[in-house]
Amino acid sequence: MTRRRPMVAAGVAAAIVVAAVLASWWLGSEVPTWWNSHLQPWARDTFRWISRNRTHHWLFVDVFTPLARAMSSMVDAVLWTLRSLRWPGLAAVVGVVAWRTGGWTAAAVSLGSLAVIGVVGYWSLTMITLAIMIVAIVVAMLIGVPLGIWSARSPRVSALLQPVLDTAQVIPAFSYLGLLTLAFGIKSPPVIAATVIYAVPPAVRITALGIRQVPVVLNEVGSSFGATPRQHLRKVQLPVARRTLLLGLNQVIMMAFGIVVIGSLLGTGDTGNEVLRGLQKLDVGKATAAGLAIVAAAVMLDRATTGQRLGRPPAHGRAIVGGGLVLAVLGALVAKLGGWAPFPTAWVVDITGSVKHASTWVQEHLRNGIPLIGGTEAISRVLVVDVLEPLRKLLTWLPWLVVVGLFAAAGWLSKGWRLAVVLVGCLAAIAAMGDVAGGGVGRNPMWDLAMDTLSQVVVAVLISLVIAVPLGILAGRSRVVHAVLRPVLDLAQVMPQFVYLVPVLFLFNAGRSAGVVACVVYAVPPGIRLTALGLREVPVTPREAAISFGATSGQELRKVQLPLAMRSVLLGINQTVLLALATVVIAALIGAGGLGLTSLGGMIKQQQNFGPGLAAGLSIVLLAVALDRLTQAWGQGGPTSSGGTNT
Amino acid sequence: MKSRRAILGTAAAVCVAGALSGVARATTPPAGSTPSPEATVAPLTTEQPLTKAKVTLAVNPWTGSAVNANIAKVVLESKLGTPVELVDIDENASWPGLDDGSIDANLEIWPSGHAADYETYITQNQSVVDLGPLGPQAKIGWYVPKFVVDAHPELATWEGFKDPALAKLFATPETGELGQFLMGDPSYVTYDEQIIKNLKLPLKYVVGGSEAALLSAIDKAVADQTPLLFQFWKPHWKQLEVPLVEVKLPDVTPECLASAKAADGNYACDYAPDNLYKAASAKLKDKNPDAWALLSNLKLTTEQQSEVAGWIDRDKMSPAAAAARFVTAHADVVAGWLAGGSTPGTTAGTTASTG
């Protein structure tokens, strides 16, 4: 660690802030009206133009409509296959595929998940969900893997793709669902399009990562034997990167299922719609049962396809696969001829009552009357009055250029001038998003909404870390804790967020604190996971050295494990920030306001609100990029450490 | 690895085959549409085979919409030999569906929330046709639970809220000294911020963000007996469950409506009633003229719609069964629709609405 002139670095940072203060004294504390990209009127006019020309313009008649038809036919074909197999046939196919790719455990987990779909009572509807998702996942992989290979080979492509992928991954689906409906019509095609937009980024990123990770030696061996680039890719790079590619598929599946509930707004008529209906009637039981079916479908697809079976299958493998397929056909036939129900009604367990009961109990007992802390309502009050409101007031009170200056200084201190420029660019672009027409009362700049959202995200991240880091340490040090936590974390990450909005509403009241809680529930799991991972990956040698010098367990944790695991913990912070921002729209559904509420405009009253909706969605992206780059820099070291600046 | 490749290959082949067949059969309706066995219910005694062109009806996420669509389905299937598909869809997303004909009709549209859609699709594109009023009148307004008015009778009108001490009863951590005015689903038309400002009420406008947020707030207010002031509307199933009182706002005046049209920020009166209307895709008229005529003639009274909604919400009957029961019980009403006579008139869009 060569410490480079920390005094100078701090001095420059201070100078940036002073300059920002002077600039705002000159330019005023509010975003001036001339600093406006005019994105909103442009987006609104484009949207209107599309709504008026979509039924006859060639772009829609000859491009999007045939594409939509192709997608819906694919869904029809897959759905027909799933329905023709019926439950015995589908079970046999899933079992065999999972066994072949991942062995007996994978087969058991997939079959168990498949059973859950039926047991909670949503077999037929979830077949529609599955059909849509399978098509969307195949399309996402067909687009994502080649793009990933291309960007692994060309740094220029990679640099060009980066901002596109960032935007696609973070921009809330609500911001563009209206547009996709205009382009692809209703039902499954626009949902597939939205899923592809959302799920392609991890496919590209992870594929590129996998190809880049292929050891140089192997690459050189290939070329020294005179392999063509294509042979090289097929025979060397792809096989070696297989494990990473499967991780990519896993991420694509998990991201894809995140669209299901929102997608059902467009008329897919699948299980996602049941979650929405449950939410509309405040029926936690129904929402949970339907949510579980969606989770089970995701887990089933994941375990059946991304198994990491190593080496050759046993000799009798072929017999098992063949037998399974014969069983599938037989099962389908028997079920058809026997006129069996889509799923045996006797196996369906109605969990809605008990879930409702449990949720009501929680709502009644955690709200008030807990000794010392009072209950969730008291927590909610403190959060809003003493934390969120002062922070929001501070951020909106500060002249916008000062906020930009503070970010620039932080960027400079964390990594150097390049980062500072990126942060200034992001924030200045948010400021240029213009005003949002309110209820006809006063000016409502997008900047203020962004500061409102920023204050909530900061609080959500801090709370998440307070919860995640200790739990992560526990999970990292104890296998038992890890084993207990893992399924809980999986569920919290995959369960559609709409499912737990009702209890959150009852416990914390509609408002910003409820929004923050929703963000925390979603952002805590990766924090715990990455902290635990970091601790477990600390090499054994320094730990043993510490213990042999007589360090206590606590000392060893503080002096050896935590410092060495710091990078992983910082990565955890980064993920927490991004997930908190990804939840901003969901939070807006329970009263968080801010950018999330405005971004809903892409879906509701679209003719007026598409412009502000898109602008708010892009502001969320810009905020995410700024916070992402800043927190990533913390993991790499700043200008005062060896990470280095160019000055 | 071979078998994985084979599996992916098969999946891809199925998709490609499906895609090709779809492009070839250019008339294939969009998919994901096949109603699931759980959703289909045995139709009422069919008097004709279902031979006519299929009609797709939008069902928006509230009970009234399900009532109309299911009644229309029963009549179309049992009397006119027209198969009907119901699509659960967001009200905003149903407009592009009507525009391109993938949805044939939406039988309950609230004009106040869709002025811009009306302008784009009905007036300009003329791809969607206003099929005239459905019958029931809806009304958005300011509401409090009944116990609030029992304790403070002066809060039955807006003037009661001028008293800061009374308004403060509605304060929350989010609103501080001011009383909270809670708005639920942001897709509803709202003049509340303007009304609060122009009537100089010590209230703060808070957006809950969704109908669920609003409903949970009502449930909690009733459970804890804490005051709550919110935007609500009728008909709504919650009105059957919880006694709510509409707060009287200043009467609707021509100036007030003009201010709404001009969006000048001076709105300071009650909400005008919403005359619910029906809209159909222009293509339906040639595709299935009988269905077009029936949907044009279909009308329900507020009482009839509420009665059927009650069977669904209160008595937990399925919408299909409730609709069948209505059609059996009101054979005369249905016969009137089938006999026709009334021509579609445009009543929609007359309601004050700039959205």
Q: Is there a single domain that holds both residue A613 and residue A492?
A: yes
**A643 falls within a domain:** no
Q: Is there a single domain that holds both residue A256 and residue A119?
A: yes
The answer to whether A185 touches B32, Cβ cutoff 8 Å, is no
How many independent structural domains does chain A possess? Answer: 2
The answer to whether B105 touches B295, Cβ cutoff 8 Å, is yes
Helix (H, G, I), strand (E, B) or coil at B171: coil
- Look at residue B351 in the predicted model and tell me its pLDDT: 40
**A342 falls within a domain:** no
Please say if the pLDDT value at position B151 is more than 70: yes
Q: Is there a single domain that holds both residue A457 and residue A570?
A: yes
Determine the residue of chain A that is closest to B208 in CA distance: A591
Query: Residue B335 has which token pair?
Result: 């016969």
Instruction: Indicate yes or no: CB of B23 within 8 angstroms of CB of A439.
Output: no
- Look at residue B58 in the predicted model and tell me its pLDDT: 95
Helix (H, G, I), strand (E, B) or coil at A459: helix
What is the distance of C-alpha A636 from the center of its chain?
23
Q: Is there a single domain that holds both residue A132 and residue A213?
A: yes
Kindly list the distances between the CA atom of residue A289 and the CA atoms of A109, A190, A266, B347, in Å, as whole numbers in the listed order. 19, 26, 21, 43
**CATH number of the domain enclosing A502:** 1.10.3720.10
Confidence of residue A616 (pLDDT cuts 50, 70, 90): very high
List the beta bridge partners of residue B231: B142
Residue tagged 């909706």 (tokens): A613
Backbone dihedral angles phi then psi of residue A55, each to the nearest 5 degrees: -85, -10
How far apart CA A528 and CA B22 sit, in angstroms, is: 47
**A239 falls within a domain:** yes
Q: pLDDT above 90 covers what percent of chain B?
A: 47
Please say if the pLDDT value at position A627 is more than 50: yes
Average pLDDT, chain A: 85
What is the b/e burial string over A109-126, where b = at least 16 CB atoms within 10 angstroms of the residue's CB?
bbbebbbbbbbbbbbbbb
Across A99-253, where does the E strand assignment appear? none
A–B CB contacts, 8 A cutoff, strictly below: 268
For helices A188-212 and A155-170, angle between their N-to-C axes, nearest 10 degrees = 140
**Nearest-neighbour CA in chain B from A464: distance (Å):** 22
**Domain assignment of residue A283, given as a range:** 76-315
Q: Is there a single domain that holds both residue A512 and residue A620?
A: yes
Instruction: Indicate yes or no: CB of B31 within 8 angstroms of CB of A342.
Output: no
- If one compares B280 and B349, the residue with the highest pLDDT of the two is B280
**Nearest-neighbour CA in chain A from B159: distance (Å):** 21
Please tell me the total number of residues recorded for chain B in this structure.
Answer: 355
Backbone dihedral angles phi then psi of residue A341, each to the nearest 5 degrees: -65, 160
A600 neighbourhood in chain B, CB within 8 Å: 186, 209
B12 neighbourhood in chain A, CB within 8 Å: 138, 142
The answer to whether B99 touches B127, Cβ cutoff 8 Å, is yes
- The C-alpha R_g of chain B, in whole angstroms, comes to 24
**Nearest-neighbour CA in chain B from A362: distance (Å):** 14
For helices A562-582 and A512-536, angle between their N-to-C axes, nearest 10 degrees = 150
**A611 falls within a domain:** yes
Instruction: Indicate yes or no: CB of A510 within 8 angstroms of CB of B11.
Output: no
How far apart CA A433 and CA A400 sit, in angstroms, is: 13
Instruction: Indicate yes or no: CB of A51 within 8 angstroms of CB of B99.
Output: yes
**A10 falls within a domain:** no
Confidence of residue B36 (pLDDT cuts 50, 70, 90): very low
The answer to whether B89 touches A272, Cβ cutoff 8 Å, is no
**A268 falls within a domain:** yes
Least confidently predicted of A3-7, A408-412, A571-575, B250-254: A3-7
How far apart CA A309 and CA A307 sit, in angstroms, is: 6
Confidence of residue B6 (pLDDT cuts 50, 70, 90): low
Confidence of residue B24 (pLDDT cuts 50, 70, 90): very low
List the beta bridge partners of residue B183: B207
State the CB neighbour count (10 A cutoff) for residue A326: 11
Written as one string, the DSSP assignment of A34-95 is: T----HHHHHHHHHHHHHHHTTTSHIIIIIIHHHHHHHHHHHHHHHHHHHHHHHHHHHHHHH
Please say if the pLDDT value at position B343 is more than 50: no
Structure confidence by residue, pLDDT tens digits, B271-328: 988 899 999 999 999 999 999 999 999 999 988 998 898 898 888 899 999 999 999 9
The answer to whether A639 touches A11, Cβ cutoff 8 Å, is no
A78 neighbourhood in chain B, CB within 8 Å: 14-15, 18
B14 neighbourhood in chain A, CB within 8 Å: 74, 77-78, 81
Q: Is there a single domain that holds both residue A374 and residue A238?
A: no
How far apart CA A296 and CA A123 sit, in angstroms, is: 11
Q: Is there a single domain that holds both residue A298 and residue A377?
A: no
Instruction: Indicate yes or no: CB of B36 within 8 angstroms of CB of A506.
Output: no
Degrees to nearest 5, angle at CA A96 with A93 and A101: 120
Q: Is there a single domain that holds both residue A224 and residue A147?
A: yes
Instruction: Indicate yes or no: CB of A266 within 8 angstroms of CB of B28.
Output: no
Please say if the pLDDT value at position B344 is more than 90: no
Of A267, A440, A588, the CB nearest to B93: A267
Instruction: Indicate yes or no: CB of A75 within 8 angstroms of CB of B120.
Output: no
Q: Is there a single domain that holds both residue A307 and residue A368?
A: no
Q: Of A276, A296, A315, at which residue does a domain stop?
A: A315
**Nearest-neighbour CA in chain B from A129: distance (Å):** 9
- Look at residue A314 in the predicted model and tell me its pLDDT: 65
Degrees to nearest 5, angle at CA B259 with B255 and B264: 145
Segment A256-283 shows an average pLDDT of 90
B31 neighbourhood in chain A, CB within 8 Å: 72-73, 75-76, 79, 187-188
Q: Is there a single domain that holds both residue A484 and residue A561?
A: yes
What is the distance of C-alpha A499 from the center of its chain?
16
User: Rounded to the nearest 10 degrees, how much is the dihedral formed by the CA atoms of B236, B237, B242, B244?
Assistant: 10
Q: Is there a single domain that holds both residue A542 and residue A476?
A: yes
**A503 falls within a domain:** yes
Determine the residue of chain B that is closest to A131 in CA distance: B32
Please say if the pLDDT value at position A355 is more than 60: yes
Of B1, B124, B186, the CB nearest to A600: B186
Q: Is there a single domain that holds both residue A369 and residue A245?
A: no
B214 neighbourhood in chain A, CB within 8 Å: 510
Kindly list the distances between the CA atom of residue B150 and the CA atoms of A381, B164, B170, B248, in Å, as whole numbers in the listed order. 28, 19, 15, 15
Q: pLDDT above 90 covers what percent of chain A?
A: 28
The answer to whether B78 touches B45, Cβ cutoff 8 Å, is yes
Instruction: Indicate yes or no: CB of A265 within 8 angstroms of CB of B93.
Output: yes
B220 neighbourhood in chain A, CB within 8 Å: 506, 509
Query: Residue A515 has which token pair?
Result: 């929004």
Please say if the pLDDT value at position A610 is more than 80: yes
Confidence of residue A506 (pLDDT cuts 50, 70, 90): confident
Instruction: Indicate yes or no: CB of B213 within 8 angstroms of CB of A264.
Output: no
**Region class of B263: left (phi > 0), else alpha (psi between -120 and 50), else beta:** left
Instruction: Indicate yes or no: CB of B96 within 8 angstroms of CB of A181.
Output: yes
**Nearest-neighbour CA in chain B from A497: distance (Å):** 14
Strands B203-207, B244-247: pairing is unpaired
**A275 falls within a domain:** yes
Structure confidence by residue, pLDDT tens digits, B189-247: 788 888 998 999 999 988 888 888 888 899 889 988 999 999 998 888 888 789 999 99
Degrees to nearest 5, angle at CA B294 with B291 and B299: 140
* ipTM of model over 0.85: no
- If one compares B270 and B211, the residue with the highest pLDDT of the two is B270
- Look at residue B141 in the predicted model and tell me its pLDDT: 93
Please tell me the total number of residues recorded for chain A in this structure.
Answer: 647
State the CB neighbour count (10 A cutoff) for residue A277: 16
Helix (H, G, I), strand (E, B) or coil at B56: strand
List the beta bridge partners of residue B203: B179
Q: Which domains does chain B have, with CATH numbers?
A: 40-138+274-339 (3.40.190.10), 139-262 (3.40.190.100)
Segment A242-258 shows an average pLDDT of 84
Structure confidence by residue, pLDDT tens digits, A435-478: 887 655 567 889 999 999 999 999 999 999 899 888 988 888 88
